[in-house]
Chain A
Amino acid sequence: MRSDSGGVIRAGRAGVTALGFALLGLGVSVYLTIEHYNTSLTLACPQTATLNCAKVTTSQWSKIAGVPVALIGLVYFVAMTMLLLPRAWRYRFLAPVRLVGAGAGVLMVMYLVWIELFRVDAICLWCTAVHVCTVAMFVAIVWRASSATVSPIDP
């Protein structure tokens, strides 16, 4: 398996960075999912008029078609982590899947930020951490994808 520039496709620094953000996002998603199903757990989060995790995670928008958004995030980050493992970079056909996955994640982030700002009227800090991980992962994946046509040297 070779890149356009003739080098073997490897994760590179950007790919490893993307994997790091995927693992971070996965960790926070696990926490949010556990909190969702364990009613005796409360998110460690300030409760002010603007910052209020519980208000977001218990709102009617915390589920999509009956599935908790936290669980959707968990499944998403499991999938992205698999796609970003060093071994997965060897398969050229996964490159567009990786990009589409990252792009879908960013679109979901925008939708959820809109929900937080205009429907729930509160910001969940843990959710924001997941959003930051998603966007950072997207940037790293785009960076790595575009580097394949620039230089045979991994960034």
Chain B
Amino acid sequence: MWGTAGNSQFSEDDNRHVTPKDPDRRQSAQQRLAAQRAAAAQARLVAARRRRLLTVGGSVGAVLLVVAALVGVKLATGGGSPKSGSTATTATSSVIADVSSVPSNVLDTVGVGTASPLPSSVSAPALTSGGKPLVLYVGAEYCPYCAAERWAVAVALYRFGSFTNLGQTTSSPSDVYPSTPTLTFHGASYTSAYVSFTGKELQSNQVVNGKYAPMDSLTADEQSVFNKYDAPPYFPSAGSIPFVDIGGRYLISGASYVPSVLQGKTHAQIAAALSEPTSAIARAVDGAANLVTAAICQVTNDQPASVCKSAGVVTATTALSNAK
């Protein structure tokens, strides 16, 4: 108490003594007060800045931590493994009927449609089998781009002959364009008076020991063609599937249209849409089929004329010529 009173007394005395009589000391006290206030303000500012850094840093840190944890778990548990697609079955009669009899007026209306890229011409020894030009297809059942290309190849080939035991299946559910409905050439046979066809599916869509099971094998001659023409300088990368060699005159590597047009559709819906000239499926599949047909006509000497002289094929032939 004494000390406090004494201090208080002293302070009052001091103030009485300083305030009116010593402007220098008064100014000094004011400066000290201002400095204290400035220091307090500075401390508040530093504390606020620290809080701000903690808030922002904490938020960023939390985000980075979660992403790092996800990546870490992914690396620890290993990469993705392929998954099996649906087992191939014999194509239904309605699918076969729709694919084998796309009306010619629909194909004529579509022309090239949205098909791209076009088959590329090549000067290679004629590819033949049984005295007829050979169309060699190399693909795999799991492959989504092959899934797209098969529809076009089948529509085109049905204009020159017919298939037996054509199957239907889906591409891999764990690849691009998952579970794309498609046909399969594995186990199918083809007869035509104009052209021969060999369709090889190198792998199925069924996973065995973490890999798609091997299926068809290429003969030495087929392997030689595949190695030579499905590679630079004919295409940017070697060994891409699907690969189609049309009589040694035209080559296709990759799908002739974007497989997404088939997404979410059933086999029956896709097959039925082939006869609707304004549908996205017809414009893609029928357009690609006309291009394949035009390429085949180049090696069959435009036989049969009813096919090769049709408006849709003539349009596709012109497109092939312009692309050279």
Which residue numbers of A lie inside 8 Å of B, CB to CB? 39-42, 47, 49-50, 52, 54-55, 58-60, 106, 110, 113-114, 117-118, 120-122, 135, 138-139, 142-143, 146-147, 149-151
Contacts and interface: CB of A to CB of B under 8 A. Distances in A.
B52 A106 contact: no
A41 B116 CA distance: 11
B168 to A, nearest CB: 21
Nearest to B50: A150
A39 B67 contact: no
A103 B74 CA distance: 24
Contact of B80 (A47, A121, A143): A121
19 contacts: A39-B257, A39-B261, A40-B116, A47-B176, A55-B175, A55-B176, A60-B178, A113-B70, A120-B80, A121-B80, A138-B59, A139-B59, A142-B55, A143-B56, A146-B52, A149-B51, A149-B52, A150-B49, A151-B45
Interface in B71-108: 71, 74, 79-81
B260 interface: yes
B258 A150 contact: no
Interface in B47-73: 48-49, 51-52, 55-56, 59-60, 63, 66-67, 70-71
B176 A52 contact: yes
A143 B261 CA distance: 45
Given A146-B52, A150-B52, A39 B114 contact: yes
A31 to B, nearest CB: 16
B280 interface: yes
Kindly state the interface size class of chain B when it binds its partner: 20 to 34
A147 B49 CA distance: 8
Q: Is the interface of B mostly helix, strand, loop or mixed?
A: helix
B263 interface: yes
A106 B67 contact: no
Given A50-B79, A139-B60, A142-B59, 17 more contacts: A39-B257, A39-B284, A40-B258, A49-B79, A54-B177, A55-B176, A58-B176, A58-B260, A58-B263, A60-B178, A110-B66, A113-B70, A121-B174, A135-B60, A146-B51, A149-B52, A151-B48
Contacts of B116: 40
A21 to B, nearest CB: 14
A27 to B, nearest CB: 22
B48 A113 contact: no
B258 A42 contact: yes
A63 to B, nearest CB: 10
A102 B14 CA distance: 59
Candidate in B55, B177, B258, B261 with the most chain A CB atoms within 10 angstroms: B258
B74 A58 contact: no
Interface in B173-215: 174-178
Given A40-B114, A40-B258, A114-B70, A149 B48 contact: yes
Contact of A147 (B52, B60, B81): B52
B166 to A, nearest CB: 26
Contacts of A122: 80
A125 to B, nearest CB: 14
